[in-house]
Chains A and B, each alone.
Chain A
Amino acid sequence: SAVISQKPSRDICQRGTSLTIQCQVDSQVTMMFWYRQQPGQSLTLIATANQGSEATYESGFVIDKFPISRPNLTFSTLTVSNMSPEDSSIYLCSVEKGTGGVYGYTFGSGTRLTVV
């Protein structure tokens, strides 16, 4: 199983600034995933982060806007750059490891971002 620590849990930011979100896992994982959940919506995958290589971004998401670091097998960061109010969302990291002995994907508790 995996336990994920994600921070900050929430933040209110000024437009035009950037916020870096951290995700720490208690065990080594090959892939880490970053999601965005807009208000009242489902989860949308932003990118997949592998250690030692550049992240792979989904359609509609670009590295300049959402740079990702993956310095080791237990840690990753997602930066939301040059923020606008449309970036107000919950951002979640996830790993391909289950909980309680059940295979699946475990999620962090999310970062609730409000851009004003």
Chain B
Amino acid sequence: GQQLNQSPQSMFIQEGEDVSMNCTSSSIFNTWLWYKQDPGEGPVLLIALYKAGELTSNGRLTAQFGITRKDSFLNISASIPSDVGIYFCAGLQETSGSRLTFGEGTQLTVNP
């Protein structure tokens, strides 16, 4: 299946710092979704993006749908300890129907 390249694989930051992670693909996606997964839980939807160029915020989180439709980034501002977890991008392609493709995930560690 189609791959989503997510980077970085892991990040270790100090509380209060800003964080940025991104996903890229060689193919076009129609929808980008960003999820966070805590240990022992399923992924929880953070932000959904539907149009190229779209910039959407959810509290301290901001995500953008790249204008080429082949990438997306997620920013977290002023990180706090509860931001710790694994962040996944996921995308929908026109050719894949309702089947999501997931990135490999970014493990975020926030040191107090």
Binding site for B on A (CB under 8 A): 4, 6, 31, 33, 41-45, 48, 58-59, 92, 94, 96, 98-99, 102-110, 112
Contact = CB atoms under 8 A, between A and B. Distances in A.
Contacts of B98: 31, 33, 48, 96
User: Contact size class for B?
Assistant: 20 to 34
B112 interface: no
Interface of B: 1, 33, 35, 40-45, 47-48, 50, 88, 90, 98-100, 102-105
Contacts of B103: 42
B48 A102 contact: yes
Query: Interface of chain A, helix or strand or loop or mixed?
Result: strand
Contact of A110 (B42, B99, B100, B102): B42
Given A98-B48, A102-B48, A107 B100 contact: no
Contacts of A108: 42
Contacts of B40: 109-110, 112
A99 B45 contact: yes
B88 A104 contact: no
A45 B100 contact: yes
A59 to B, nearest CB: 7
A94 B105 CA distance: 18
10 contacts: A6-B42, A42-B102, A92-B43, A94-B100, A99-B44, A102-B45, A103-B48, A103-B50, A104-B48, A106-B45
A13 B35 CA distance: 30
